[in-house]
Structure 1
Amino acid sequence: MSEFRDISCYATAILIKFAKRKKMPESVYLQGIQEPLTHLNNVLEWTSIQTWTKLIDNIADYLGRKTGIFQDLGYEITVMEMTHFQMFFFKVAPMVFILKKISNHINTSINRNLRVSMTFSENGVMDIHYHILDLAKYNLILCDYNRGASLAIMHCKGYQDATITDMSCAARDSKISPCHYRITWKPRPSLFRRIRESFQLRFGYHGEILSFMEDKHRALEIQYEEILKLKNDIQASNDFLNHMMDNTNEGIVWLNGEGRIVFANAAFGRLVWKAEKELAWTTFWSHLSNAMTEFDYRRLFMESQEKTGIPQIKEFEFTRPSGDTRIGETIISWITTGQEEPGFLVTVRDITEKRKMERQLFASENRFRSLYQNSPALIVGIGSDSRFIYANPAMEEQSGYTETELQSMHFRDLVAPDANFDVDRLVMNRLDQGPSLQEVHFRTKAGEWKAIALNTYPIHDDTGALAGIAGIGIDITETKRLNEQLVQTQRMDLLGQMAGGLAHDFNNILLAISGYGRLLHKKEQNPELKEYASAIMSASERAAELTRQLLTFSRGEVGKQESFVLNSVVTEVKQLLMPIVPRIINIQMVLPEREIRVKGDSGKIHQCLLNLCLNARDAIGLIEGTITLRLVPGNEPDYIALEVEDSGPGIPPDIIEKIFDPFFSTKKRGKGTGLGLSVVYGIVRSHNGKITVDSKPGSGARFRIEFPEYQVEGQKGESMNEKNVPSDKKKGLVMIIDDEILVRGYCEDVLKSEHYSVISFPSAESAIEWFQIHSAEVRFAIADIILPEMDGVEMVEKLRAIRSDLAVFFMTGFISPNMKQPPESDPVLHKPFSPVAMMETIRKLEKERGL
């Protein structure tokens, strides 16, 4: 701490002496000072400029702060400290000698931050330069105090007319160094010259007498200085010894040959909580616990006498009057000298807190050891060479390797080859940073790949040097798999919402186009116009099919577990692939003639198949190739296999087992498309199916999905054509509610051609308002599900609140899982629909409701 303690405590001691002369309370001049009074009064100690400044500042506040107060204090304190001898010395000693003494005293014993130089001239001018080593440890108060002290010395010398002038001041301007004072006075003759002139002495005999007096006077001064120095050295030695005894933290005790205390320092008194007079001539073991008998203690000390010069180290338990105990590490030495009575020198170091900390550390180590051993989290240490230092049982269980095996391995031996970070950079760049969370993929001993959320932070050795990183991680493999499925689902849901809105409007238009095309084809007799109507019908049917495929792909419609024709799904996927697969890649399809049915969500199967085909396209690249889709019998009875085969480069054997992992991809970051193979795997499993892959480098890849085939009792009959629809004339009023005028017009024309009366409404509000008056007149209602201000399902609920037996069938161009679903008893007709389909639905509704 010497770099912060540059002021000798002699400077604080004379301030305290001055404060006591002024009868200042101790609490006033020591206010805000942390250092003890004994330290500040000890001239052998050092303190800081801040403590000295606070002390003199408190004195100035007490005396009444005024302009020039610190210069006045410097003057007054210097005069106060001047002894009669020093006053005489200043009067008679040569000025050059005085200046040299003062400079050496300040430079070596008063202020380590100052170097003082003084230049004296006989013409009444003296320059004083204070060279400051560190301006941060110098201030204006010290500058003013030094100026007053300098002026006091000149006045003591006898120059009462001396004045002091600032030439430059570093305390006022940090750019200036050093501080420069100039003292001027009226020159006068020397003392001996004045004596000689006063007695009118002449040169010769009288001059020799005066010269002899001067020599003897100088010799006496030198002898006095030597005596004074010797006295000061002895006092300083005693003060230093007493200071060490009083301020050491170790108890020091001198015992006579019987083990009684002759001397004990303050530290031992604090240990046993007793004053010095209470300890005098008591036996040492009377302050120890009852762990041993007095006889045993005496015998132990006697053993020390037999081993002169060989200290014994023991741990004793010392008792206090309160009953508390302290543990002391005790060194016992038998000392014999020729001049003093022999005795025991005993030193005691209080290690109570150390033992307490050791017990706490032991308990803490046990807790952390238990946490390390039993934590389900992976805990590892990795050295600066990227090798494992330690691994807990959870890491052993997750990786399949023992800790010993891991310690012989490099960290990169476990990390996935497609990891998006460099292992050495991961280790070395973490050494001087704080904790960091990142995802790490590693391979187990069994060959399984896992994803770990790993939090790493630096570790240090016992010297404080950086030694590596420690990591705590948890297995997030399954979480990532589920999260990928969730992200894909959310993406498809968003796409479905966008596609659904487009499909709703598009299907309304297609309904009008295809419906009127069918009506035109039915009524027109001109063969050419009939052919045009057929073309319109064919084009609208293809547009409707494309809309349905878009909704199926985006999962915009409700996915139900129902049977569907797998042949149709394969055909639809091929049609979707045509515009997005390069023309140099041939898409082949091998399907059986009979319909193959499976039960499940056709939309999800559609997505799985499309994803496998897109992967096949990416594998082939921009060269000629073939993608083959085929349906073949499964390996088990009543199973059907769906295969996707490509002519690409194939899948390397070292990664084929990892392709269904959620975090694995051979594509560059951000280049993946469609569903991940892990999601494909999950969808196949949810349909009670299984997926396998067969591939060899250079021979392409073949993915095979096997589903249980759904068996039906009989084939569904062909749809009714227009000629099979009965045209019996049944009258009745039908409500049509749809916001699209083309849809309302088409439905009106179909119903009127079947001899129904029709009333149509563009909104739910207008329909409800009319129905409140004419509800009894309505035979049944046809309602669109998606209406502008109120959906069709809610509207029908309000209509049935007026008339509960109202028969209704719904029509829609789009319905999503998030929409309010119509009751299962009410039929739903999807747009666009033909007049035949519309009338089939009406006939079925009338038959079920008995209309």
Structure 2
Amino acid sequence: MTRVLIVDDKDENLYYLRALLGGHGYVVDEARHGAEALVVARSHPPDVVVSDLLMPVMDGYTLLRYWKADATLRRAPFIVYTATYTEEKDAKLARDLGADAFILKPSEPEDFLAELAAVLSRGTSDTEPRRPVADQEEILQVYSEALIRKLEEKSLQLEDANRRLGRSTMQLEMAGRLARLGGWWLDRGARHVVWSDEVCRIHGEPEGTAPDVERAIAYYEERHRPIIRRAVERCFADGTPWDLELELHSRDGRHLNVRVIGEAVRDDMGRVSRIQGAFQDVTEIRRAQRERRDLALRLQQTLESMSDAVLMFDPAWRVVFLNPMGERLLHRSRAELLGKVVWEEFPEAVGSTFQVEYERAVRTRSRVQFVEYFTPLETWFDVTAYPTDDGLVVYFRDVTARREADRRLAQQATMLDKAQDAILVRGLDDTILYWNKSAERLYGWTADEAIGRNAHELVNDGSAEFVEAKRELMSRGEWTGTLRQVARDGRRVVTECRWTLVRNDAGEPESVLAINTDVTDRRNLEQQFLRAQRLESIGTLAGGIAHDLNNVLAPVMMSLDLLRDLAGPQGHDLIESLRSSVGRGADLVRQVLSFARGLDGRKERVDARTVVREIEAVLRETFPKRIEIVVEVPDAPARLMGDPTQLHQVVMNLAVNARDAMPKGGQLRIVVSREDLSGAAAVQLHLAPGRYVRVAVADSGAGISPEHQEIIFEPFFTTKDVGHGTGLGLSTVQSIVRGHDGAIQLQSELGKGSIFSCWFPLVGADDEQPSAPNPARRLPRGDGEFILVVDDEPSIRAVADRILTRHGYRVATAADGHEALERWREHRTELDAIITDVAMPGMDGPELIAALRAEGADVPIIVASGYVTDEGAGRLLEVATEFFVSKPFSAETLLTTLRGVLVGR
């Protein structure tokens, strides 16, 4: 085989020619300069030599001269292959020195091989240089000039290269720091390893550190030290390179993964004179790789264990991944599907929503989500698909059962809509999730309006009751109670609530089921009932007070007639004043009973002027000073038939409402007038035409809206806050006015106040004069009759005894029923009449009467009481009591009644 000697100081040139020639069947020897070429050629004579010109140690021109001067070597043709000398005289010089061919770099491989073959085919014809030896001086002169010229050019090139190298070195150092990459070398026979700055930093040593070989090896893990030692020895021995990844401990204690690369550097004689290489800290790279592997493993495990099915396609729609859940849902194994085109494996999906949506996701590079039924599998799938750079990822789940559950829920929701109770579901944050038709009816909000709103804000008006109820619900899991809530139109509603905490499969609270029943009407009825009970209790209390007050007033009233006789004419006015006061006290007691117990009040002639003046005095004492009170009454009497107590209640109620309508102050006007109602005006008020007393109460408050005016007289309607009013006031006023054959009228305008006018039929003549006081008359006297007085009040017994004795009667007294029976038994043949109280300790009046009748007493019995309950009245009827006087009574009433009873007997 043809042997070719290549001489070039550039490794890349050697590599190129070695590959080119070796690939075409040539045996190749190499040398890096002329001196080495001579050594190689003498040991392995070549068939042809291919040499560069500018090289270290010995250049190509010198080699050519030595080559042609050697009788053995010059038999092999010499080809100059260079890019250094490109001028024609350079080529001429080479040929003058005996070169067989001159080829410029770079040349096409085919051209180079053709020239080489041509040279070999013709061989070398000249055994001496082409020019005579005498011309050697001229040749050397030309050679020297060419060499100097090219060296200057080379120097300039090197200078430029050095500048570029400087910049590159800085960039390389920067890159080395970023990549944690440095260089090193070790000369044969040297004791110290030379490290770059970055290698020093990696070892935790200061820059410029050059450790000896053993110290450098000692940084490595103990198990790795023999490995690096053998690598160094082998490389020095035969040039074997290495690329190892080892572990070491830096001086500052870091445990590092490092990559160590080493290769041989040969001298002119081809011996390994140095090992040089690279050193890189790959700790972070390996850590990142481990993290990526761990992440990939976790991702794989996650996808494998997901409850959702996962299916992945490549751009050609081939299946590249399917997790176990996907196998179950598709009823196909991974082995069957991996690498297969999905549309071929599931032809029923071609043209379906699945294909349309998948292709849309890939085309638009956007996520798609849909629910679709796949007939071959008889399954509803909820599908979400995401495009990726590698294809499409599809997540899907079987929602067949859920859709069936949704269908059943829809049916149940329809049934819930028919329920009478308001049913709603809200999240733990009180967001409304469900709202049935009854909730719409109760609260006035449609489902569309309510769902998504906050229940606390929507219907509970931010009440603290709701917050407390929710706290108990979260603690106990359920809550039952009553809430005051608000409807859309502002109506206050009372609901009876039953709340249940709904939990998910894991037992965690998820939502609240609330069933609310409207109990507003029932609660109002209960309040009315409780009010009635309260009034009954007040009535019972008032009855007891009335009894005691009447017992207090009775002796005073009876004593006045005695005092009149004793005082003489000069004291009559004072006594009459006392009589009026005691009578008024008795009337007040009767009015309290009438109001508290609902006792039928007697109707009498009442002057509305008097009623209003009495109320005016109360208002001026009790109402705030910021309210101006104006009262207007006519000069003529304004009489009507009515119950004074109830009339007081009407005017007082209207006045209090007027005060409440002016919280910041204003004018309260009460006007009494006599009015003639014509036909039209009377018809409007539903009254008969005629003459009426009008009592009007006006305020300067905010007024009443038209919608409220229509319902203001309805029971329980009120515009006041909770706890301020029952809503019964105006309803009661209207009832009382109508009970007096009258009418009530409201006139109001927003911002201008309100006027309530009450109309009552006028009675009596205009010219009616006050009646003159009755002249004093003689009180009826007895004729020695024996009277038994029974009362638990000592003062009443004492005054009655004195009055009766003074007016011709004999008297015996008893403090209770038992003592009265003893007196009866002592004087049964003498007694002519018995006067007894009703309420007494021990044996009361009805029991005494029953006992007397049982013992055959037929004497008349007069019952005197300040207050008789319904039960007491019934018991009196049972014992057939015929005679009754109401405490307090005057001496005249007592004597007249007693005289009438005795005469009647």
The interval holding the TM-score normalised by the smaller chain is 0.3 to 0.5
* Greater relative contact order structure (CA < 8 Å, 6+ sep): 1
- Give me the TM-score of the superposition, normalised by structure 1: 0.47
- Give me the TM-score of the superposition, normalised by structure 2: 0.45
